[in-house]
């Protein structure tokens, strides 16, 4: 599954030669997870990531190219949660290296992983870190409480919480979480996240059934732009025909 590889490279490379703070994954360092949505009232908030009309984006990408996600780690660009004093721009990316299995099953496996991984972001509840997401625009806004700041919350700890949750999903090998709080122009990541969504929607269409008519397909533009998608549909069609015992007409 390398459908998202170019977008992972684009998003990862978007920081140029900047050096982030890098933290190796350590599940024991995860910030307390409350296990439920915790309401942080405005009067109790220290600041909002992506709040007050600051730009924000979030994106999850799956790959089976180990070089793109060679280890579990958390990268932080810009001020960390302890340094931030007011609302800032906010970016969070999650890149996941998942187990590779071949041919037609590969797309299905990756698609299932994508769907489960999308669910993870609704299932991470760091204490004093109230996440609000918009699936339509890929926005992710976080209200951080004064109490969490005074107790020492950091992106390393929150990132470890995310990785713990991602690693509960079978087939996830490595996870890279990237946080950024000082990038004012997020357009590169916003447009990349939109392309990721388009590819996932196309994959849904491909896995939905046997319909294969590029001429009338709404996803033609995405397929034309993404090497491997059309081949994925051909494989899925052949696999489905095989399972249903459908033979080609001569």
The residues of the shown chain that bind ligand SF4, judged by CB under 6 A, are 202, 205-206, 212-214, 217, 219-220, 223, 229-230, 233
Our CA angle for 200, 206, 212, nearest 5°, is 140
Q: Report strand pairing: 45-49 vs 21-24.
A: unpaired
CB of 136 to ligand SF4, least distance (A): 22
Is the Cβ of residue 164 or residue 202 nearer to ligand SF4 in the bound state? 202
| 2 closest CA partner among 59, 58, 73, 69 | 69
Is the Cβ of residue 150 or residue 204 nearer to ligand SF4 in the bound state? 204
Chain length of the chain: 250
Is the Cβ of residue 121 or residue 233 nearer to ligand SF4 in the bound state? 233
Is the Cβ of residue 169 or residue 217 nearer to ligand SF4 in the bound state? 217
CB of 231 to ligand SF4, least distance (A): 8
- Cα separation of 157 and 42, whole Å? 23
CB of 240 to ligand SF4, least distance (A): 13
Is the Cβ of residue 171 or residue 228 nearer to ligand SF4 in the bound state? 228
44 neighbors 143 (Cβ within 8 angstroms): no
CB of 112 to ligand SF4, least distance (A): 18
CB of 5 to ligand SF4, least distance (A): 18
CB of 224 to ligand SF4, least distance (A): 8
- Cα separation of 99 and 78, whole Å? 32
Is the Cβ of residue 92 or residue 195 nearer to ligand SF4 in the bound state? 195
- Find the helix packing angle between 103-120 and 187-208, rounded to 10°: 130
Report the residue closest to ligand SF4, judged by CB. 217
- Please state, as a whole number, how many other Cβ atoms lie within 10 Å of the Cβ of residue 150: 11
CB of 239 to ligand SF4, least distance (A): 14
| 93 closest CA partner among 114, 112, 74 | 74
Is the Cβ of residue 214 or residue 246 nearer to ligand SF4 in the bound state? 214
The SS3 call for residue 111 is helix
Q: What is the dihedral of CA 124, 194, 70, 174, to 10 degrees?
A: 30
- Cα separation of 167 and 59, whole Å? 17
- Cα separation of 149 and 245, whole Å? 60
């Amino acid at each position: 599954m390398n459908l998202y590889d170019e977008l992972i490279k684009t998003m990862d490379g978007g920081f140029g030669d900047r050096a982030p703070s890098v933290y190796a994954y350590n599940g024991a360092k995860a910030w307390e997870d409350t296990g439920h949505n915790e309401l942080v009232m405005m009067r109790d908030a220290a600041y909002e990531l992506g709040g007050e009309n600051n730009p924000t984006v979030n994106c999850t990408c799956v790959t089976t190219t180990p070089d793109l996600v060679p280890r579990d780690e958390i990268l932080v660009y810009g001020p960390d949660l302890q340094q931030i004093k007011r609302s800032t721009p906010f970016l969070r990316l999650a890149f996941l290296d998942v187990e590779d299995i071949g041919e037609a099953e590969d797309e299905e496996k990756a698609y299932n992983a994508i769907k489960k991984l999308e669910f993870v972001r609704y299932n991470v509840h760091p204490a004093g870190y109230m996440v609000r997401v918009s699936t339509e625009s890929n926005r992710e806004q976080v209200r951080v409480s004064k109490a969490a700041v005074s107790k020492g919350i950091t992106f390393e700890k929150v990132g470890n919480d995310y990785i713990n949750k991602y690693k509960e999903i079978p087939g996830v090998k490595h996870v890279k979480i990237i946080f950024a709080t000082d990038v004012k122009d997020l357009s590169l990541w916003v447009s990349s996240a939109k392309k990721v969504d388009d590819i996932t929607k196309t994959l849904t269409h491909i896995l939905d059934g046997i319909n294969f008519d590029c001429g009338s397909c709404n996803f033609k533009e995405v397929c034309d732009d993404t090497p491997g998608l059309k081949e994925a549909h051909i494989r899925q069609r052949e696999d489905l025909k095989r399972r249903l015992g459908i033979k080609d007409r001569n």
